[in-house]
């Protein structure tokens, strides 16, 4: 009778396992099915020869995430999947679980450090710890549970930027972590998650630069042109962070440099002007900031194109965007300079009241980030322009 129940559960899960659209899958079905699998395994009703069919399903459940508008559902499914892994540790001998150790260990580590929800990170950490204690076959298990225990994974930023970096020292987990960040977290619906993923990739890429250059960067370069705003934003900031990190330690080949520099060439205009374009422009500013810090040579046409995108972004009212533009222009001027006519245009935009207060605010911010050598040559003009911009103008 237990086999009949398990067969029925497999039928419920078949739609997702077969690769169909996840948005059509019932999260309630997956939640209940995972709980049932956990209870059956705890009671010895899930026979060992069924594990080879069940394990891929459990791994999928650990990544279950359905986007619904500006949020997602699936945390309860991932929590139930962690319960399944916890149950497996108690139900089976180490020799039975040995063939599945690599997949389960990698999946649990990824959820422990990269999941958005604190209760899921802690549930995964508890499942990993249970398997280490009862199975003893997880690679570097003791070291990892010491680093990523129930309490330390409670802080999301620390989990991404410190604990994940520490775990990536073990080659058994590093590649899987980079792949998860590239395929899942960098395109997460939550903007904070995308930014954390980009910063974590910056720290991890040096440890496996060959894989990142050959696989991660081309994938992100393709995603930077995606019609989905979320994917564009994540991929652009990811490219910038990775390149800024790699350029400090490696001399990248010309093909890689050409690939990443060419992302903005012929960039679709609608991405810069449609709904949500401010977020895309912020990502582009960070991209230009990071690539400028690499100090790679660029063509005259590309230099003008980057500068035109930065200047056009100063027309926007969004203060975060203007701040991103000012920082990017500062790094741009450090590497590629500003010509006299370009600086004169900045000064004119700063002082003229006919251009509106928002634009003058943006150009004033830019003057504060200009390269120091340029400032020394034009300090009087720049200070006078900022003093003029600080005056109160009353219109009647």
| 3-class SS string, 101-167 | HHHHHHHHHHHHHHCCCHHHHHHHHHHHHHHHHHCCCCCCHHHHHHHCCCCHHHCHHHHHHHHHHHH
pLDDT at 205 over 90: yes
Q: Which residue has better confidence, 360 or 85?
A: 85
pLDDT at 389 over 90: no
pLDDT value of residue 59: 92
Assign a CATH topology to domain 1-167: 1.25.10
CA distance linking residue 234 with residue 283, whole number of Å? 8
**Confidence category of residue 354, pLDDT binned at 50, 70, 90:** low
How far from chain centre, in Å, is Cα 17? 25
Give the count of alpha carbons within 13 A of 43, CB side only. 8
User: Contact 175/208 with Cβ under 8 angstroms?
Assistant: yes
| Angle at CA of residue 213, ends 59 and 288, nearest 5° | 110
245: DSSP letter: H
User: Contact 218/259 with Cβ under 8 angstroms?
Assistant: yes
pLDDT per position as a tens digit, 26-61: 889 899 999 999 999 988 888 888 888 889 889 999
pLDDT value of residue 255: 93
CA distance linking residue 333 with residue 336, whole number of Å? 5
The pair of three-digit structure tokens given for residue 375, joined into one six-digit string: 């400032």
pLDDT value of residue 275: 83
**Confidence category of residue 168, pLDDT binned at 50, 70, 90:** very high
The pair of three-digit structure tokens given for residue 129, joined into one six-digit string: 């710890």
| Angle at CA of residue 273, ends 269 and 277, nearest 5° | 110
**Confidence category of residue 113, pLDDT binned at 50, 70, 90:** very high
Residue spans per domain, the chain:
1-167
Quote the percentage of the chain above a pLDDT of 70: 96
pLDDT per position as a tens digit, 261-279: 999 998 999 999 988 899 9
pLDDT at 16 over 80: no
* Residue with token string 């590309």: 302
For 98-101, which contacts have Cβ atoms below 8 Å and span 24 or more sequence positions? 98/137, 99/52, 100/51, 100/55, 101/135, 101/137, 101/138, 101/139
In what helix (H) or strand (E) does residue 68 lie, and over which residues does it extend?
strand 66-68
pLDDT value of residue 315: 86
pLDDT at 157 over 70: yes
């Amino acid at each position: 009778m237990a086999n009949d129940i398990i067969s029925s559960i497999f039928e419920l899960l078949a739609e997702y396992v077969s690769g169909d659209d996840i948005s059509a899958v019932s999260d309630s079905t997956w939640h209940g099915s995972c709980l049932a699998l956990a209870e059956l395994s705890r009671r010895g009703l899930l026979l060992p020869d069924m594990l080879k069919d069940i394990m891929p399903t459990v791994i999928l459940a650990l990544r279950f995430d359905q986007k619904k508008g500006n949020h997602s559902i699936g945390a309860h499914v991932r929590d139930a999947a962690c319960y399944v892994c916890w149950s497996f540790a108690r139900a089976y001998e180490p020799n039975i679980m040995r063939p599945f150790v690599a997949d389960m260990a990698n999946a649990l580590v990824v959820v422990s450090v990269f999941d958005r929800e604190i209760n899921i990170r802690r549930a995964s950490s508890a499942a990993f710890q249970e398997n280490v204690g009862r199975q003893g076959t997880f690679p570097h298990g003791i070291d990892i549970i010491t680093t990523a225990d129930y309490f330390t994974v409670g802080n999301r930023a620390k989990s991404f930027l410190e604990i994940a970096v520490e775990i990536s020292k073990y080659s058994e987990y590093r590649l899987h972590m980079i792949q998860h960040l590239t395929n899942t977290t960098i395109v997460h619906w939550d903007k904070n998650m995308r930014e954390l993923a980009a910063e974590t990739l910056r720290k991890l890429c040096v440890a496996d630069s060959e894989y990142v250059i050959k696989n991660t960067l081309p994938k992100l370069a393709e995603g930077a042109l995606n019609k989905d705003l979320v994917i564009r934003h994540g991929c652009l900031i990811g490219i910038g962070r990775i390149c800024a990190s790699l350029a400090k330690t490696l001399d990248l080949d010309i093909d890689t440099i050409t690939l990443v520099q060419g992302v903005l060439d012929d960039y679709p205009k609608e991405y810069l002007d449609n709904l949500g374009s401010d977020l895309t422009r912020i990502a582009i500013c960070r991209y230009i900031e990071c690539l400028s810090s690499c100090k790679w040579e660029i063509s005259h046409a590309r230099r003008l194109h980057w500068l035109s995108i930065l200047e056009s972004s100063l027309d926007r009212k969004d203060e975060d965007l203007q701040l991103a533009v000012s920082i990017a222009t500062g790094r741009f001027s450090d590497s590629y300079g500003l010509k006299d006519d370009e600086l004169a245009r900045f000064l004119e935009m700063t002082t003229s009241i006919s251009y509106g207060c928002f634009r003058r605010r943006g150009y004033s911010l830019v003057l504060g980030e200009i390269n120091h050598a340029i400032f020394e040559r034009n300090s009087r003009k720049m200070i006078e322009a900022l003093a003029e911009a600080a005056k109160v103008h009353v219109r009647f």
